[in-house]
Amino acid sequence: MLRVKYSNLFVATAALLIFSVVACKKSFDQPATTGDPGLVATISIKDLKTRYTAGAAVAITDNHVIEGVVVCDDRSGNYYQQIAIQDATGGILLRLGSANLFNTYPVGRKLYVKVNGLYLGQYSGTLQLGGGIDSAYLNQGGVTLLAYNLFDKHIIKGALNQPIVPIEVSATQLTTTLQDPYISTLIRLKDMEFAVTDTGKTYADAGQSGNRIIQGCSVPAANRITLRTSNYSNFAEVKVPAGNGAVVGVYSYFGSTRQLTIRDTADVRFNSTRCGTGPTTLLSIAELRSLYTGATTYAPTNKRITGVVISDRATNNLNAQNIYIQQGSGLAGICVRFSSAHSFDLGDSIDINITGQELTEFNGLLQLNSVPLGYATRVATGKSIAPRTATFAAIQTNFRAWESTLVKIINITSLVGGTSGRWGGSVTMTDATGTLIAFTSTAASFANNIFPGTADSFVGYLTPFNTVKQIAIRNLSDVVAGAGPPPGSSGIPLTSSPYIQNFDGIATGLPQGISVKIGATSTSIGTGDMPFYPATGLGSPTAWNQTSAGLKNFASFTGMTSTNDAAVQGAHTNRALGIRQTSAAGYDPGAAFLLLLDNTTAKTNFQLSFLLQSLDATPGGRTTAWRVEYGLGDNPSTFTSATTNPATLTTNLGTFSSTPVTVSFGSALNNINQKVWIRIVTLAATTGSGNRPSSAIDDVQLSWN
């Protein structure tokens, strides 16, 4: 807020405007053409202003004279009890205790000011001459109004109608320093316009002064300035113009806010078309990207880019203001961040006027920043971009060149991570050449969908996060899941009876034909594969008391005690295939160990044995009930319970145990010429309260005749 002092004619709540006056290109030390009082300046305005640096106002005690031309008066009501004068070196405000000053000191009149007995101070950054020290604002440099009866003692009137030529500057030259040469001088800014949010407003608001933003076509903070208008001005209720052009006004600043004050609406000549609305020529996205060399820059004027939208706002996998466009198949792409949420859909072909728009990086991603929505036009719908087919190794090598474009990867051998096996978060994908992170926002409509363990193909657009190279899908149709349980594509090799699996080599991956699922139900083997924990895979051992959901490489019960710490567990060579359940959907219930047999042709009398281990001895927790079932076919929808010994199978948090389990299938699995699925599954919710157990199987033995 700006401080104001009023005579009894005005209410005390009216706001004081800070105004600056323009430096004139005319030589101010030339004699007046008429009305010359015979005085000459003995000190410049610039030199006088250097006498004040901080704190209380400074008394002027020597017999100096400054001269200057009035560049802003109170005729329109936008100034009150002050005028601005300037010479060739700068400008200054005079605080005067009277109204209607324009009758005596109009714009264009030369004045000579005898400064002996006056006080030099400031108001929140703008230097002022007044009649005394304002004790209420002592430490801030406040000065009082010069009394009316002292006007003629200190202010000598000179010639009228002196020419005033505003100095043409750019907004980036204006600072908020006390001795800025443009403070209280008349300046001219060209190629400016009111911000979109202000174009429908009047210069001031009802009952209070108005702050309106004017800006250039490139709109960083340095190219914006506040146009300050008093609600007492005679143009307060006039609507601001919507075009582009030049503005003349007196520069000042208030705290950290740069301000411009016009004399009347004739100072605003916004008659040209606004930024982003004139004729343009095409610039390729590749050419636009090449303009960025590591520091924020701005797009050239009268240029546009075209492209097809390759992101999908409908699934919420990106910020509502962001969009990714690609110029064509195999061509460059870029992220565009609009000033507000957009309505462009996947497959829309759009034109974007990029005149003056900011080209910068955000978390490593090159983007056009804060583009007004009105700069973009939809020209067609239903277009498509053919993705570039590449390996993960090629993507890593060419990531910057391919950033914000569509790529396709085939034969992905594993997907792990995410959030409890779901897309939300970072999923590490692996193919024969390397890895890449697939990132999904937790706000995406498919964030809670379970991702597959392998993928025949994967399409997405490349988007980094700082140094992490990432890819994002538009929707679930971008992923074609691989067939069969990962990582193997066939069942347990039934070459000789018995088949024995002790899981001691689990660090290199799951054995062929053995998988782990979540989301299992009485009619489904599971809707997804359980992710590994840690996300790097089974190569890293996991402690028994680790509570994150997922598939675990545990130390087996055999040869251990419940008190062995993580280091001892990690060094233990006897390993077990483990599961840690959580409340996440698909885990409790729905976790399952699966054994796949391609067929049992010419084989009979199948017997199964294994150790069911409860490994986390942390006191107090839930109990998980397990059962053994089998189903037939590629994707069975019915399962049959098998008889186990013991009949009840459980694991429990707080229990450290290993239960030998045997299963006889009788003739149920004899000589079957289709897939056979045997699962150790939990189909009922855990009982009790607290955390869930760390459960594992070990020493699996399958025999037949």
Q: What pLDDT score does 508 carry?
A: 82
Q: Which of 625, 627, 624, 626 is nearest to 692 (CA)?
A: 624
Q: Which of 174-188, 199-213, 389-403 has the lowest mean pLDDT?
A: 199-213
Q: What pLDDT score does 680 carry?
A: 98
HSE (side-chain half, CA atoms, 13 Å) at 414: 21
Residues of the chain with CATH 2.40.50.140: 281-380
Domain 167-272 has CATH 2.40.50: yes
Q: Which of 436, 433, 593 is nearest to 506 (CA)?
A: 593
Q: Mean pLDDT throughout 648-653?
A: 96
Q: Which residues of 12-47 are buried (b: 16+ CB within 10 A; e: fewer)?
A: eebbbbbbbbbbbeeebeeebeeeeeebebebbbbe
Q: Which of 387, 529, 341 is nearest to 452 (CA)?
A: 529
Q: Which residue has the higher pLDDT, 482 or 373?
A: 373
Cβ 342 vs Cβ 320: under 8 Å? yes
Q: What pLDDT score does 24 carry?
A: 32
Q: Mean pLDDT throughout 537-563?
A: 93
Q: What pLDDT score does 9 carry?
A: 30
Identify any residues that bridge with 326 across adjacent strands, giving them in sequence order: 308, 333
Domain 499-703 has CATH 2.60.120.260: yes
| Level-2 CATH architecture, domain 388-481 | Beta Barrel (2.40)
pLDDT at 5 over 50: no
Percent of residues, the chain, with pLDDT higher than 90 = 77
Give the integer Cα–Cα distance in Å for 164 and 99. 23
Digit-coded pLDDT (tens) for 583-628: 988 999 999 999 999 899 899 999 999 999 999 999 989 999 999 9
* φ, ψ of residue 141 in degrees (nearest 5): 85, 25
pLDDT at 489 over 60: no
Give the pLDDT band (50/70/90) at residue 220: low
Q: Is 379 helix (H, G, I), strand (E, B) or coil?
A: strand
Give the pLDDT band (50/70/90) at residue 18: very low
Ramachandran sector of residue 420 (left: φ over 0; alpha: ψ -120 to 50; beta: rest): left
Give the pLDDT band (50/70/90) at residue 7: very low
Cβ 561 vs Cβ 572: under 8 Å? no
Q: What pLDDT score does 35 carry?
A: 57
pTM for the whole structure: 0.51
Give the integer Cα–Cα distance in Å for 621 and 173. 68
Query: How many angstroms separate the Cα of 236 from the Cα of each of 15, 98, 197, 209?
Result: 13, 22, 18, 8
Bond preceding residue 300 cis, omega within 30 of 0? no
Give the integer Cα–Cα distance in Å for 530 and 586. 9
pLDDT at 17 over 60: no
Q: Is 208 helix (H, G, I), strand (E, B) or coil?
A: strand
* φ, ψ of residue 288 in degrees (nearest 5): -60, -45
Q: What pLDDT score does 633 carry?
A: 86
Q: Which of 164, 64, 57 is nearest to 107 (CA)?
A: 164
CATH assignment, 281-380: 2.40.50.140
Give the integer Cα–Cα distance in Å for 242 and 274. 7
Q: Mean pLDDT throughout 358-374?
A: 92
Q: Mean pLDDT throughout 269-280?
A: 85
pLDDT at 630 over 50: yes
Residues of the chain with CATH 2.40.50.200: 388-481
Cβ 299 vs Cβ 355: under 8 Å? yes
Check the CA dihedral 507-508-509-511 and report its sign.
negative
Average pLDDT, the chain: 90
pLDDT at 22 over 50: no
Q: What pLDDT score does 287 carry?
A: 96
Residues of the chain with CATH 2.60.120.260: 499-703
pLDDT at 192 over 50: yes
Q: What pLDDT score does 483 carry?
A: 58
Give the integer Cα–Cα distance in Å for 488 and 647. 32
Run of H or E including 285: helix 285-290
Digit-coded pLDDT (tens) for 636-648: 989 999 999 999 9
Digit-coded pLDDT (tens) for 78-92: 999 999 999 999 999
Q: In the 8-state DSSP scheme, what is residue 121?
A: E
What's the burial of 605, exposed, middle or buried (CB within 10 Å: 0-12/13-18/19+)? middle
Q: Is 373 helix (H, G, I), strand (E, B) or coil?
A: helix
Q: What pLDDT score does 11 carry?
A: 30
Give the integer Cα–Cα distance in Å for 351 and 277. 12
